[in-house]
Amino acid sequence: MLSSSRVAVAGTAFIEPCLPCFAREPPRGPDWLHEIKFDGYRALIHRDGNGARLFTRRGYDWTHHFPAIVSAANAVRAKSFLIDGEAVWCDENGLPVFKRLRQRQYEPAVFLYAFDLIHLNGRDLRDEPIESRKALLSELISGAGFGLQLSDHIDEDALILFEHACKVGLEGIVSKRRGSRYRSGRSVDWVKMKNPDSPAVKREAEEDWAQVAGRGPG
C-alpha cells in the first residue's frame, strides 16, 4: 500500500488543480478540444532549484513513489515549472491498469500523462489560454524521457472519440473549452464523460456501495 504525508507548500510547489464537471454527453462544435481520460492518480509535478517533487490532487507528497516521473522531470531543461497530469501504469496494449498503482513493485513503470502547464520559469500561466499552455508544455517535455509523456488534445468529433474510448475500454474523455484559463476547483470549462463499463466507474460504484453499507445498521 502507498503511504504519504500531507505537506504545507509555499509558492508554486502545489496549486489546487482544475477539476472537470460531469456531462451527460460530449460538447460538440469548434469551441472545444478533447483529451482521453486515463484511469490513474491525478498528480502535479513541480521542479525548482531543489529538484522535482510530486503531489497528489490533495497536496500529499508522493515524490518517492514514482521515480520515473521524478527522474524525467529533473531532466527537463527549465529552471522551474509546475505540470498537471495523470500518473498511470499501462499494460502491453497501452491501457491504464489502476490496481497496479497500488502495488509497489510496479511503481518504477508509472509515468505521467501531462496535459497542462501551470507555471514555467517563474511565470504564472494560469491566465493564458489553454492552447498556449499546451503548446508550451509540448515543447517543454519533448525528449524528457519515459516518465513524462504528453496527453495531447485530439481534433476529432467528441462523440466519435467518446465512442472509441468506450470501445477500447478507456475511462472516457475530458473536453476543454478553447481559450479557457486554468482555475482551481470545479470548472465549467472542463467537462468529463465517463465510460459506464470502464473499470474506473465500476470501482467507484463498489466504493460508494461499501460506504453506504458501512453506515448501515448491520
Considering only CA atoms, which of 114, 89, 105, 91 is closest in space to residue 2?
105
* Global confidence as pTM: 0.88
CATH at residue 186: 3.30.470.30
- 106 assigned to some structural domain: yes
60 domain residue, yes or no: yes
Q: What is the DSSP string of 156-178?
A: S-HHHHHHHHHHHT--EEEEEET
Q: What is the pLDDT of residues 124-170, one digit of tens each?
A: 999 999 999 999 999 999 989 999 999 999 888 999 999 999 999 99
Beta bridge partners of 36: 173
Residue 6 falls inside a structural domain: no
User: Which one is catalytic: 37, 134, 176, 192?
Assistant: 37
| Residue 37 annotated to the active site | yes
Helix H or strand E segment including 36: strand 32-37
In angstroms, the first-to-last Cα distance of the chain is: 28
In a domain, 36, yes or no: yes
Is residue 72 a contact partner of residue 103, using CB atoms and an 8 Å limit?
no
| Model confidence pLDDT, tens digit, residues 70-122 | 999 999 999 999 999 999 999 999 999 999 999 999 999 999 999 999 999 99
Residue type, position 117, single letter = L
| Assigned domain for 10 exists | no
For residue 208, being part of any structural domain is answered with: yes
Parent domain of 172: 16-214
Please state, in angstroms and rounded to a whole number, the distance separating the CA atoms of residues 15 and 119.
Answer: 10
Q: Residue 114 is which amino acid?
A: A
For the chain, the domain total comes to 1
* Nearest-angstrom CA–CA distance, 82 and 18: 13
